Chain A
C-alpha cells in the first residue's frame, strides 16, 4: 500500500536527471533512444462514502487520506459486482484496488477472499501489509499465507478461520482443490478471488492457470458461491482479453492510472561495436557494470537486473570489488536471486528497505512487487524478454515520485538488437499480447482428470466452455473414472494433481545427479524439451559455473548422471528440425508469395555435439549423440514463394537457402516480440513443406540441406525445391501463438525487413540474419542481401 499523498520532492531529485544528461553527453553513440516521461501530477479521489469508517481510519493511520482515481474506479466496479482487471504501471498502488473491497466485505459480512500470487515472496509481502493494516485499524482481519511452507499445525486454523488466504496457483491446484471438503467453510464464504501479476500467466503456465480457475469455479458452485475476480496486471496490450480468457467471463478493465509519477528518463544502450565485420559488440556485462558504478558513485540507489543467476554473481563481484573492499564496513552491494534461502532473502529485503544498500544485483526474482523501498536507478543487463517486463523492472525505480533513471543495455541476442533499435516499442503503448490456450487438449485432459477427482461430472455439465464428454470417456476407458447413470465418478487409486505440474510440460523434468566421489546428489533439474540439448552423454553441464560432464543419461528414468570435471571446453548440441505440413487452415497473400497457418508434424533430432574451447571459442572436436527423435504435432505459420519467383530472385539454390535462413532468423526475433513468447515457446525452422528435407545454418552463414536421415545433401541433389520459413509453437498441440502471427504476418514481414535493412553490419550478424563469417569478400551477394530479397518478396508493397 503506497502512500497516496504527494510527498515533498526529496533533495536528490536532480541526481538521476543529472546522471542521465551526463551519460547522454558522454556516450551519445551508444544511446539509441531516450524515452523521457515527464513528471505527472496525481489524479485523486476522496474515500468513497461506503468505505467503512474503521478501514478509513486504518488507512489514515498509514498515511493514506485519499485514493488515486483508478483505485476509486476499482472500488465502484467491485461494488457493482463486476469482475475487474487493473492494468496500471508498477508502483501505482494496484494492491489497494483489491484490498479495499476485500477488507470492507470481510468486515461487513465475513466475506472470505483467496489471493493468488505467482511467488511465495509476494504472498508473504501481501500478508505483512494486510496484517499491518488490520492492526492499525483494529479491523480484526485474519490473513495468512497457505503454501508449501505453512506448518501443518497452522493449516487447520487457516482453513477454518482465515478471512484472506494468500496462496499460489500450484498450491491451489495440488493442495486446496483436491481437499476442498476440508475448506468447506472457506468456500461457502468465498466472495473474492484476487489474481495478481496476471501478465506472468501466459503460454503454457497461463493455460494451466485458466483450467485451475475453471476447477475453482466448479468447486465454488458446489458450495453455492460465485466469487468475484479482481485481477491485476503489468501494462500489456490486451489486459481485458487476457483476464477474460483466464476466468472465462466478462471483465471490466481499469487501465488509467491516477498515481503521480516523478518523471523518468530511460536510455536504450547498445554496447559499442568492437569488430564491424562480424558485428561484434562489447559485452553487455561490461557496460552494465560501468553504468551501475557511475550511478552508485553519483549517490543513486541502483538496481541491476541480470538474466541468469551466474551473471548476478559475476556482476555482484565486480561491484563489490569497487565498493565493498573494506570488510570492516557494512556491505553496500547485495545480490538477490532465486536459490538463496528465504531467510537470507528476507534479510536482503529488510536491508534494502532500510536504505542500507546502495547497489542490488538481481534476477527476475525482484521484478514483481517485493517491497524493497525506494530506488533511483535501474539497469537492465539484457532485454528481459518482453516490453511489459522491461517496464515492470524499470518501474522499480522512482517509487517516491522522484525523478529516476532506467538504462536498458542490449546484449548481442537478435531480440535485444532488434528492440534497442526500435525505441518506439518502449515508448508507445505496449504491443504485446499475452496469449493462452486453455482448451489445449493435453492440458485440458490433465485438468478434467483433476476435476473428476474433486467432484463427479454429470452428463451435460460443461468444463468452462468445453464439453468434457470425450475426455471423460477416455478416462472411463482407462478405468480412472466410472460412468454410472448420469455421472462420471472417480474410482482410481491415485491423486491426479500430483502428476500435473503447472509450470512445465507434463512429462516431468530430468534430474541431474552428481556422482563425484561416490556422491548421489541431485544438483539440477532440466525440463524435458531442453534435456536432449543439454544432457546427452559427453555434454558439459554447468551448474553455478562449475562444469560437470554427463556420463550416463537414463532417458526413461529421466536422470542424467554427471561427474565434476575440469575440461577446458564446453559443448554445444548440433540439432536440426524437420517439419511436415499436415493440414492448412488458412492462406493469405504475402507480397508475391503466400503465408499460411496450419498443423505441422515436427521432428527434432540432436545429431551430435561440438566441443568448444573457452575464451578462444575454437572448435576442438565432435561427439555423437544417440537420442530418440523428439516428435510432436503442433501449429505453425509459414511463408513460401512460388517457383517462378524463387527462380527469378536467386541464381542458385544455395543462395535461396541462405536467404530463407536469414529471413527465418529475423522473423523469429520480430515474432517473439509480437506474441510475448519465450524463445523456448516459439521456434523457427526452414525446410520443405513435405518434410523431405530441412535446412540449418552451418554456423558461418551458409545453409546446409539435410535429408530425412540427417545426411547433408547438396542443394542440387534434391528434386523439387520449395523452401519455407516456419515459426511454430514448441508445445504439443500448440499454445495459440501461430494463429495471431498469421493474422499479423504483414506487420511481421515489414518489421523483419526493416530490421535487416537497418542493421549496420556488412554481410549479416547475430543482430539481423544470424552469424556470418568474416569472408564477405567471397560473397557475390551476402547472406544478408539474400535475406532482404526473400523478405522483400513477401512484403506487400
Chain B
C-alpha cells in the first residue's frame, strides 16, 4: 500500500512547478532573523529560484531613441501632421457646447502595467494639439525613473486653465493614474478642474454592438479606416520599457513610441468624426438602430461634407 520512495520522489518532482516548502531558518526570541542574510542565502531560505542570468549584450546593442533629451533622462519627441483643425466642432455628441479647437489637447499615456494602484506609472505621455500648421504631436518619454518628476513638470506646462482634455478612456484610466503620480511626486494636480472629453463614452453610444469591441484600435480600423503597419499592441508596452530600462535594446520601445504617437493622432480624427456623426444622427432622429458601417475616407476635415 505504501508507495515506494521513487514513486513519491517522481511525484514530488512533478509538483515542483509550484514549490511549496519555503524552508527558512528559525527566528530568535523576538521573532527576528538570527542573522542578516545575503540575497543568495535569502533565496535558499525561501526556496526561490535564482533569476535567469541576463542575456549578455551581444556586440553593439541598438539603444537609440528619437527626440531630444530636455532634462536628465527625459526625452521630448515631436511630430507634425499637416491636418488642420476643423473649423468648428459641435459638442452635442458629448452633451456640451461647441468645442474650441484651439483649446483642445488630446492625450494618452503608456504605463508600466494595468494593475492600477500606486505601483503603476506612466513612462510615456503623448499629447497632440492643433495649431496653424496642423496637428502638433509631442511625446515625453522617461528613460530613468528619476526623470518622472521632470516629465510631470513638463506635461503640466502644456496645460492651460482653459485646456479641454480629450482622451480615450482617460477619465477612468489615464487621468487618475497621472493624478496619483502627481500626488506621489508631491506636485499639484494640473488636470484638476480642466474640462475633459472622454471619447470612449460617445463612441460606445454610437457603435455599441456594431463591432467586436470598442477599443480604440477597433474603432480606428472600422470607422476611420486607419490601418497600422507593424503595430505593437499596448499590452506589450510595459515589457518594452522594462527591457530598455535594464540596458537592453530600444527596438520594442521605439515601436511603443510609434503606437502611442498614432493614438493621439487617431484621437484628433475621432473627435470631429463623432461630433459630425452625432449631428447627422440628430437629423435622422427616430431611425433607431441604424447600423453604421465603416466611414471611409474621413481623414481630414477638408474632405468632410460641410
Contacts and interface: CB of A to CB of B under 8 A. Distances in A.
B246 A479 contact: yes
B26 A733 contact: yes
30 contacts: A178-B118, A437-B31, A445-B46, A452-B119, A453-B118, A454-B117, A473-B39, A474-B39, A477-B39, A477-B51, A484-B144, A487-B145, A491-B112, A491-B245, A493-B115, A495-B116, A495-B119, A555-B14, A558-B18, A607-B1, A608-B1, A622-B1, A624-B1, A625-B3, A628-B20, A631-B23, A632-B22, A633-B25, A634-B23, A736-B31
B28 A710 contact: no
Interface string B1-37: 1111101100110110110111111111111111011
A486 B273 CA distance: 49
Contact of B21 (A181, A452, A558, A632): A632
Contacts of B20: 507, 528, 628, 630-631
A558 B176 CA distance: 36
A572 to B, nearest CB: 14
B31 A436 contact: yes
A636 B23 CA distance: 13
Contacts of B239: 493
B46 A441 contact: yes
B223 to A, nearest CB: 30
Contact of B42 (A452, A453, A465, A470): A470
B26 A470 contact: no
Interface of B is mostly: loop
Interface stretch (A328-336, A372-380, A598-606): A598-606
A467 B35 CA distance: 12
A493 B114 contact: yes
- Of B37, B112, B119, B245, most A-chain CB atoms within 10 Å: B119
B25 A599 contact: yes
Nearest to A496: B119
B60 interface: no
A704 B152 CA distance: 70
Given A487-B146, A494-B113, A626-B7, 5 more contacts: A436-B31, A556-B17, A585-B26, A624-B3, A710-B2
B5 A482 contact: no
Contacts of A630: 20-21
A453 B51 CA distance: 20
Interface string A412-447: 000000000000000000000001111111100100
Contacts of B22: 442, 506, 632, 732-733
Contact of A493 (B5, B113, B145): B113
Contacts of A455: 118, 184
A245 interface: yes
Contacts of A180: 118
B179 interface: yes
Contacts of B33: 439, 441
- Of B21, B42, B246, most A-chain CB atoms within 10 Å: B21
B23 A601 contact: yes
B183 interface: yes
A627 interface: yes
Interface in A585-602: 585, 598-599, 601
Interface in B52-70: none
A501 to B, nearest CB: 15
Contacts of B112: 491-493
B183 A181 contact: yes
Pairs A-B, 9 closest by C-beta atoms = A635-B26, A633-B23, A493-B113, A437-B31, A453-B119, A733-B24, A495-B115, A631-B21, A628-B12
A51 interface: no
Given A556-B15, A624-B1, A624-B3, A729 B26 contact: yes
B50 to A, nearest CB: 8
B1 A470 contact: no
Contacts of A635: 26-27
A438 to B, nearest CB: 6
A471 B42 CA distance: 8
Contacts of A627: 8, 11
Contacts of A138: none
Nearest to B23: A633
Nearest to B237: A493
Nearest to A488: B145
Contacts of A738: 26
A630 B21 CA distance: 7
B45 interface: yes
B38 interface: yes
Interface of B: 1-5, 7-8, 11-12, 14-15, 17-18, 20-34, 36-39, 42-43, 45-46, 48, 50-51, 112-120, 144-146, 176, 179-180, 183-184, 238-239, 242, 245-246
A743 B113 CA distance: 49
Given A479-B242, A484-B145, A181 B26 contact: no
B27 to A, nearest CB: 5
Interface string A731-748: 011111011100100000
A733 B18 contact: no
Given A709-B4, A733-B23, A736-B27, A441 B45 contact: yes
Contacts of B5: 708-710
Contacts of A495: 115-117, 119
A327 interface: no
Contacts of B36: 467, 470
A632 B23 contact: yes
Interface in A560-598: 583, 585, 598
B41 to A, nearest CB: 8
A733 B25 contact: yes
A117 B51 CA distance: 40
A370 interface: no
B37 A626 contact: no
Contacts of B180: 181-182
A453 B117 contact: yes
A514 interface: no
A493 B242 CA distance: 10
A601 B45 CA distance: 12
A474 B12 contact: no
Contact of B26 (A471, A556, A599, A631): A599
